[in-house]
Structure 1
């Protein structure tokens, strides 16, 4: 068995990058590391700015007190497109610089799969959260009256749903997203389907779009702790903070499940490790 695995490893037409060091302090002395942090900060800022404005604009256009046309605005479909489309654009722009995470849950999943070090993972999350806060802060500074009147784009559990349902929606939604990230960036899939001209940001953006369609009525769709945290910090109302834990615990659990499923089930990392151990023994 070990010999068969060894032959397959040498005969394949792709190469998996080796696992990164768990803690790589040398990154702190590299300009490329800080350039990646800036890219994550700016991308998350732009993501929150565009998407929160879209949410507030939709609510303003469908407010029965100011606009009797309840069919106006972009609708839930338009909101989902705004989130998915911005992720497609921003991942395309930043993938070559920072990997285009723009989401602490994505970063966490890639950290568990040994794609990024602990230092990079923690600093990415900090940059993403700061970018989200600044993005929502820009929205509030430009449209303060609309921002306050229409909830600031903050994620909250909708009436009629219990916390368990909201948590489950965030877990499954983030699983779909992070699983798509792993699949779209898998070197084995890219080598096997090299004749199919598909950009990795495209399926990732579509995953965000589809998840928003399903979960906007439940939680407003978080699946991105930075997005939920930034909106809650600037909005500052109790309801947004009461439900905040759902938008961290759910996405991190979903990301962990996706990382395990892709790495140890689909890519059979556990079987390969066992085969290598038996071969060496």
Structure 2
């Protein structure tokens, strides 16, 4: 004998659970249904990771970060003018220009392949604004960190020990507090990510020139200002690479929390306050209702729906279903 179980709130349809009254209780059946729904969600989230386009984008992030870290950290190495002489002080302008031009070049080279993030802070900003799926973002961050470690490792391998120094590890200046360093990293990454969103905004038609060069200039500005304060990370992967090679993680959290928060804040302000998407405004005019099953339903207004007051399941990706892993970087790939 079978009895009807309780409706599962995780299902996307009005599916109920049929269970044996003598062997399985209703809570157990609901738990089994929830497990099934969770497995389905994981399968949907990971369905695109075996595609050629996905791994091409992830490997692009790895290679771009490797080249960026290798070339940029190389500018921090102080070579003495002659044998027995002390190395000269760090040239802030040289380091700033090298970091800025390197990132501009990598964005120009890999922008059409992976989006040219090369920075976990930029990837996090893309996730919170719905331009990148969380599953793809996790692979991106791992690839960026591995690329940074590889780049720093190659630099350490080819650089003589006497001139290697700290290998460009970002460190907080002794005369400022850790809190001030955190604020500096937040602000300079805010400036960088805001530039990324402003220059890559598809809604703008008046822009001319290279977006990569504008992003590179933003990196140069941040380094010219913040090198004396924190070493000007603006990029958690850039700090993670040399820190792992030299095993120097002093105040390392500053270079993760500060840039990521700064990037998220910049993306949220740009996308939802200063330059909101017109389509987002239309969606905000619609009324959303939550059914007892836990599914959100949308009640459309008269000017949108063919039948006023009709209720249907929310579909933020449009009528045509696309694989989020195969969409261009500029489009929304997660709901």
TM-score greater than 0.5 by the shorter chain: yes
**Match status 1:104 vs 2:120:** yes
TM-score (norm 1): 0.82
- In structure 1, the partner of 2:27 is none
Matched, 1:212 2:227: no
Contact 2:192–2:218, Cα closer than 8 Å, also in 1: yes
Counterpart contact for 1:42–1:131, Cα < 8 Å: yes
Between the aligned partners of 1:220 and 1:60, the Cα distance in structure 2 is 19
- Matched residue, 2:239: 228
Once the two structures are TM-superposed, the CA of residue 61 in structure 1 deviates from its matched residue by 4.3
Change over 3 Å in CA distance of 1:223–1:116 after alignment to 2: same
TM-score normalised by the chain length of structure 2: 0.69
Please list the CA deviations of residues 55-110 of structure 1 after superposition, one character each: whole Å capped at 9, or x if unmatched.
01xx33489x724866xx7x201100000000000000000000000000000000
Q: Does 1:60 align with 2:79?
A: yes
1:274 corresponds to which residue?
284
When residues 177 and 146 of structure 1 are mapped into structure 2, their CA distance, relative to the original with a 3 A threshold, is: farther
1:28 match? 49
2:52 and 2:245 map into 1 onto residues whose CA distance is 31
1:256 paired residue number: 264
Is the 2:79–2:163 Cα contact (8 Å) retained in structure 1? Answer: no
- Do 2:72 and 2:99's aligned partners in 1 also have CA atoms closer than 8 Å? yes
| Deviations, residues 20-75 of structure 1 (Å, cap 9, x unaligned) | x997322212101101111111111111111111101xx33489x724866xx7x2
CA positional deviation for 1:222 = 0.8
Q: Distance in 1 between matches of 2:80 and 2:125?
A: 37
Structure of higher CA gyration radius: 2
Identify the match of residue 104 of structure 2 among 74, 88, 92.
Answer: 88
Alpha-carbon distance in 2 for matches of 1:217, 1:267: 33
Correspondence for 1:49 among 61, 64, 70: 70
Deviation at 1:236, TM superposition (A): 1.1
Match of 1:124 in 2: 140
Conserved? CA contact 1:167–1:250, under 8 Å: yes
Measured in 1, the distance between the counterparts of 2:127 and 2:282 equals 20
> Conserved in 2, the CA contact under 8 Å of 1:155 and 1:219?
yes
Hey, which of these two has a bigger chunk of helix by percent? 1
Greater per-residue strand proportion = 2
SS at match of 1:268: coil
- Corresponding position of 2:59: 38
RMSD: 2.4
Tell which has more relative contact order, 1 or 2 (C-alpha 8 A, sep 6+). Answer: 1
* Displacement of 1:199: 1.5
Of 132, 143, 151, the match for 2:166? 151
Between the aligned partners of 1:203 and 1:279, the Cα distance in structure 2 is: 41
Moved over 6 A (4+): none
